[in-house]
Copies of this chain bind each other. A is one copy, B any other.
């Protein structure tokens, strides 16, 4: 089973400002944006990625950022929200969403047993926890053209180096750099 972190971030590694706003990312994917624009190219890339995803696992904080979006960004893809505090899905959220208080490895085992082949892991804290636990197979990072200095980042202390291999690179509308990395399994911790 593949488990992918797919994140847009400032060149200095922030996926949101400290107040959870995302303005610097260029806004959520927009299927109505002009062809060739940054938004449409990011949107097309995200749509192509989502078409390969069976289940999305996200943290509670990211979920609460996404809920007020004008359009639910994940279509019919099942979404599992990790939370020890939420007990019910808020009004207006699609029935594809469920909440679990399970541990990361346990949640992934259950999804794999249910036949999931590709899990999209979203949210900075969740991404970091899954990376530290050795549960991620792929990272797709889109660096947008700004340094914001402070914010929320998926990067943080790890029990050991995570060795990667560069799978591919892409540019969006000439002004964002995407790189897809796979985690090298069995690399010796240093």
State in angstroms the CA–CA spacing of A147 and B165 once bound together: 11
Flag if B139 contacts A164 (CB, 8 Å): no
Flag if A157 contacts B164 (CB, 8 Å): no
Flag if A23 contacts B177 (CB, 8 Å): no
Residue interface mask A142-184, B partner, CB < 8 A = 1: 0101111110000111110111111001010011110101001
Which listed residue, B145, B158, B176, touches A149 by the CB 8 Å rule? B158
Residues on the B chain within 8 Å of A149, using CB: 155-159, 161-162
Which listed residue, B24, B161, B162, B175, touches A165 by the CB 8 Å rule? B175
State in angstroms the CA–CA spacing of A24 and B189 once bound together: 12
- Asked if A54 is at the interface (CB within 8 A of a chain B CB), the reply is no
Given contacts A12-B13, A141-B11, A177-B169, are A158 and B147 in contact (CB under 8 A)? yes
Residues on the B chain within 8 Å of A145, using CB: 163-166, 181, 184
- Asked if A81 is at the interface (CB within 8 A of a chain B CB), the reply is no
State in angstroms the CA–CA spacing of A57 and B163 once bound together: 32
**Interface residue count for A (Cβ, 8 Å)?**
36
Which listed residue, B131, B147, B177, B179, touches A131 by the CB 8 Å rule? B147
Given contacts A177-B169, A179-B143, are A13 and B164 in contact (CB under 8 A)? no
Flag if A177 contacts B171 (CB, 8 Å): no
Flag if A146 contacts B169 (CB, 8 Å): no
User: A22 to nearest B CB, angstroms?
Assistant: 13
State in angstroms the CA–CA spacing of A108 and B146 once bound together: 24
| Complex interface residues of chain A between 2 and 45 (CB less than 8 A to chain B) | 11-13, 23-24
Measured CB to CB, the residues of A under 8 A from B are 11-13, 23-24, 131, 139, 141, 143, 145-150, 155-159, 161-166, 169, 171, 174-177, 179, 181, 184, 190
7 additional contacts, CB 8 Å, given A146-B161, A146-B163? A11-B139, A146-B162, A146-B164, A147-B162, A149-B155, A150-B158, A166-B176
